């Protein structure tokens, strides 16, 4: 059943993608026009990094591109369905430029105006589809072996003594990743070879970061452009380049860099053709030498870390593991798990109502929790992130008041941070800024995503007040459930130099993350009191609990209190926090 549903959804997605018009793509922010290539470098473990800027100004037009997105490069005037010059991954994104990592320099067209289009990650779809086919032909996959769903002492002991399966869940900030890391360290001491996976790259990288100080023999498998900069030294490509052939590989890359620079400057077609041939030869030689070393790196590593779909990489073929760990299992499609978490946080992303109704939205973690119960499950109950006031709402609403705040965080305040002064903006732990009655209604963009300009201005203003009180912009995050609002907020941030290091993202983008101060822009403001997916308690749980010392909620209380769950959230903020009208933030 899953196989049929998934393939139907994929087919429909590809069909609709083929019929889009260029104008529609521009309005949706899935295409950036009028670009020029201003720099080409060979780096990132042999990848070619091309930097693009606008041909018409300093700042790129509004778009919905993000780091790690798969993109295709085309001539500016090419038809939407035309073949690309190349496909790559967004490596770096600034207000005025976008840098993309390609396997090879595109053979032609770089000297003319260009455009970038968001593309689908076909590798992920293909691997999930292949897994579905294999599962549908398998008659006996009821018994799960070597799946560890990543507690401090008791939970670790229970996990290490489990025969086949262990499930660990816990509210935000209770140390799930810390527990995962300790289990890995203990298993390595036992001599186990471990495959550690997660649904997202950021979750895998978080584990890598925690393991590195312990000097474990590990390797991170994945596209370098999709990894956090701080884990690149552990990437498979980097480990390979540090092998016996590293000196020669460095010489090859230097030669390729010089040729790439020459290619950008050369206009003669024959010369360009010769340079491209030489680049291909050098690239092939480098790849061949790396392939020879890959098997040795994998074999010598005690821990291999990758995303769930990355576990199907050919580089891991023939490698067996004693233990498999899946972090964020409650956010992963069960299909992906067949190639740890907390089922009260983010669910898997299902874009088809039909697929979700037929069971695709139910995770393996949820099924095993219901099937096995307390016998193989542990829940963490002490959190080390949030002020007690931020935590208590989540604990009461979702965890039967079982969660406690460790004394080290229970009463910490924004003004306790070095350089931050006590002010009306930094004293409260909870702030509710109400836009009701302030003429700040929501709007739709061309993709039916919601935005609210007035509310966005209020959120930016509060962030500015925090910075004026000494809070570092990098310690502040703004979260909105709507992509259109995120794009709008980022555009506003580009006009504020003091806020350039402030992070703005969707709920999914902040999963597993935290900030000293979080500002939540809920967007919805309408006479019908429609709240859409704001009523999903799992997503709101994630949003609120990203905050360590202050959580600021910006919303239209008249609209959102039409939902019972959100009404209880508003009432909690009103009772335990500071209530402000958005009218006090005007003209600032």
Q: Is the pLDDT of residue 523 over 90?
A: yes
3-state DSSP percent of the chain in helix, strand and coil, to 5: 45, 20, 35
Q: Is the pLDDT of residue 244 over 70?
A: no
Nearest 5°: the CA angle 281, 282, 284 is 65
Closest C-alpha among 73, 105, 111, 108 to residue 253: 105
Q: Which stretches of 164-319 are DSSP H helices?
A: 176-189, 201-211, 236-241, 246-265, 269-300
The predicted pLDDT at position 227 comes to 85
Distance CA 21, CA 166 (A): 49
Query: Would you say 454 and 440 are in contact if contact means Cβ atoms under 8 Å apart?
Result: yes
The predicted pLDDT at position 218 comes to 96
Around Cβ 268, how many Cβ atoms within 10 Å?
9
Q: Hunting for tokens 């990094």 — which residue is that? A: 49
Q: Is the pLDDT of residue 389 over 80?
A: yes
The predicted pLDDT at position 4 comes to 39
Averaged pLDDT, 126-149: 49
> Where is average pLDDT lowest: 132-141, 182-191, 482-491?
132-141
Span 452-461, pLDDT tens digits: 999 999 999 9
Q: Is the pLDDT of residue 56 over 60?
A: yes
Better pLDDT: 58 or 44: 58
Bridge-based pairing state of the strands 303-307 and 450-451: unpaired
Q: Which pLDDT band holds residue 440 (cuts at 50, 70, 90)?
A: very high
Bridge-based pairing state of the strands 515-521 and 503-505: unpaired
> Where is average pLDDT lowest: 2-6, 161-165, 368-372?
2-6
How high is the mean pLDDT of the chain?
Answer: 81
The predicted pLDDT at position 400 comes to 87
Q: Is the pLDDT of residue 17 over 60?
A: no
Most confident of 131-145, 359-373, 416-430: 416-430
Q: Both tokens of residue 395? A: 């604990």
Averaged pLDDT, 399-420: 94
Percentage, residues of the chain above pLDDT 90: 38
> Where is average pLDDT lowest: 120-124, 226-230, 296-300, 460-464?
120-124
- CA distance from start to end of the chain: 56
Phi/psi at 307 (nearest 5 deg)?
-75, 170
Q: Which pLDDT band holds residue 1 (cuts at 50, 70, 90)?
A: very low
Span 261-272, pLDDT tens digits: 888 888 888 888
The predicted pLDDT at position 8 comes to 38
The predicted pLDDT at position 238 comes to 84
The predicted pLDDT at position 247 comes to 62
Tell me how far CA of residue 399 lies from CA of 170, 382, 485, in angstroms: 9, 12, 30
The predicted pLDDT at position 460 comes to 96
The predicted pLDDT at position 115 comes to 93
The SS3 call for residue 432 is strand
The predicted pLDDT at position 352 comes to 53
Query: Would you say 481 and 346 are in contact if contact means Cβ atoms under 8 Å apart?
Result: no
Span 187-206, pLDDT tens digits: 999 999 999 988 888 889 99
The SS3 call for residue 61 is coil
Q: Both tokens of residue 149? A: 């769903």
Ramachandran quadrant class, 109 (left: phi over 0; alpha: psi -120 to 50; beta: rest):
left
The SS3 call for residue 550 is strand
Closest C-alpha among 84, 117, 118, 94 to residue 38: 94
Query: Would you say 169 and 159 are in contact if contact means Cβ atoms under 8 Å apart?
Result: no
Nearest 5°: the CA angle 73, 76, 80 is 70
Q: Which pLDDT band holds residue 479 (cuts at 50, 70, 90)?
A: very high
Query: Would you say 59 and 95 are in contact if contact means Cβ atoms under 8 Å apart?
Result: yes
The predicted pLDDT at position 334 comes to 56
Query: Would you say 129 and 7 are in contact if contact means Cβ atoms under 8 Å apart?
Result: yes
The count of C-alpha atoms lying within 13 angstroms of the C-alpha of 112, restricted to the half-sphere facing its C-beta, is 11
Q: Which pLDDT band holds residue 149 (cuts at 50, 70, 90)?
A: very low
Q: Which pLDDT band holds residue 15 (cuts at 50, 70, 90)?
A: very low
Better pLDDT: 194 or 310: 194
Q: Which pLDDT band holds residue 120 (cuts at 50, 70, 90)?
A: low
Span 529-569, pLDDT tens digits: 999 888 888 889 989 999 999 999 999 999 999 999 999 99
Q: Which pLDDT band holds residue 588 (cuts at 50, 70, 90)?
A: low
Percentage, residues of the chain above pLDDT 70: 77
Residues with Cβ < 8 Å from 353, sequence gap 6 or more?
none
Distance CA 355, CA 241 (A): 43
The predicted pLDDT at position 163 comes to 64
> Where is average pLDDT lowest: 123-127, 381-385, 422-426?
123-127
Q: Hunting for tokens 């521009």 — which residue is that? A: 26
Better pLDDT: 422 or 226: 422
Span 318-375, pLDDT tens digits: 888 988 888 876 666 555 555 444 444 544 444 555 655 555 555 555 655 666 556 6
Q: Which burial class, exposed, middle or buried, applies to 495 when counting CB atoms under 10 A from its CB (0-12, 13-18, 19+)?
A: exposed
The predicted pLDDT at position 257 comes to 82
């Amino acid at each position: 059943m899953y196989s049929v549903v998934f393939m139907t959804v994929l087919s429909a997605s590809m069909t609709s993608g083929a019929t889009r018009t260029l104008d529609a793509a521009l309005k949706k922010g899935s295409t950036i026009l009028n670009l020029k290539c201003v720099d080409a470098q060979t780096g990132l473990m042999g990848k070619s990094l091309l930097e693009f800027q606008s041909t018409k100004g300093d700042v790129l037009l509004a778009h919905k591109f993000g780091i790690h997105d798969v993109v295709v490069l085309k001539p500016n005037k090419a038809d939407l369905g035309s073949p690309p010059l190349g496909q790559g991954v967004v490596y770096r994104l600034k207000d005025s430029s976008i840098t993309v990592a390609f396997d090879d320099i595109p053979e032609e067209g770089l000297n003319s105006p260009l455009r970038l289009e968001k593309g689908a990650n076909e590798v992920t779809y293909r691997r999930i589809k292949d897994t579905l086919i294999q599962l549908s032909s398998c008659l006996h996959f009821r018994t799960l072996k070597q799946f560890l769903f990543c507690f401090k002492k008791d939970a670790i002991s229970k996990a290490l003594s489990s025969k086949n399966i262990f499930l660990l869940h816990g509210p935000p900030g209770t140390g799930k990743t810390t527990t995962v890391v300790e289990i890995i360290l203990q298993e390595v001491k036992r001599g186990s070879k471990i495959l550690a996976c997660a649904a997202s790259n950021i979750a895998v990288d978080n584990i890598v970061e925690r393991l590195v100080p312990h000097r474990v023999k590990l390797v991170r498998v994945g596209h370098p452009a999709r990894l956090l900069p701080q884990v690149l030294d552990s990437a498979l490509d980097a480990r390979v380049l540090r092998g016996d052939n590293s000196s020669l590989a460095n010489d090859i890359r230097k030669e390729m860099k010089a040729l790439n620079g020459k290619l950008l400057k050369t206009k003669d077609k024959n010369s360009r053709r010769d340079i491209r041939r030489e680049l291909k030869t050098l690239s092939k030689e480098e790849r061949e030498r790396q392939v020879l070393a890959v098997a040795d790196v994998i074999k010598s590593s005690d821990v291999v870390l990758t995303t769930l779909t990355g576990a199907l990489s050919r580089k891991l073929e023939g490698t067996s593991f004693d233990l498999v760990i899946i972090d964020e299992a409650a956010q992963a499609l069960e299909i992906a798990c067949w190639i740890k978490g907390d089922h009260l946080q983010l669910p898997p992303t299902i874009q088809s109502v039909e697929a979700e109704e037929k069971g695709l939205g139910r995770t393996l973690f949820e099924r095993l929790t219901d099937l096995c119960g307390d016998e193989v499950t542990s829940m963490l109950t002490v959190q080390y992130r949030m002020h007690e006031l931020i935590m208590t709402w989540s604990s009461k609403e979702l965890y039967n008041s079982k969660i406690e705040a460790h004394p080290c965080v229970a009463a910490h305040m924004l003004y306790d941070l070095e350089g931050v002064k006590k002010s009306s903006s930094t004293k409260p732990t909870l702030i509710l800024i109400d836009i009701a009655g302030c003429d700040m209604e929501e709007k739709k963009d061309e993709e039916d995503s919601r935005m609210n300009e007035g509310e966005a201005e209020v959120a930016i203003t509060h962030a500015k007040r925090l910075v004026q009180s000494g809070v570092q912009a990098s310690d502040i995050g703004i979260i909105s459930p709507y992509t259109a609002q995120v794009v709008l907020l980022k555009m506003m941030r580009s006009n504020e130099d003091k806020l350039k290091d402030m992070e703005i993202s969707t709920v999914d983008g902040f999963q597993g993350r935290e900030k000293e101060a979080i500002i939540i822009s809920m967007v919805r403001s309408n006479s019908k009191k429609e709240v859409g997916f704001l009523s999903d308690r799992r997503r709101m749980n994630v949003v609120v609990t990203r905050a360590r010392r202050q959580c600021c909620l910006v919303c239209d209380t008249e609209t959102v209190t039409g939902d019972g769950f959100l009404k209880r959230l508003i009432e909690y903020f009103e009772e335990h926090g500071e209530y402000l009208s958005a009218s006090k933030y005007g003209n600032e």
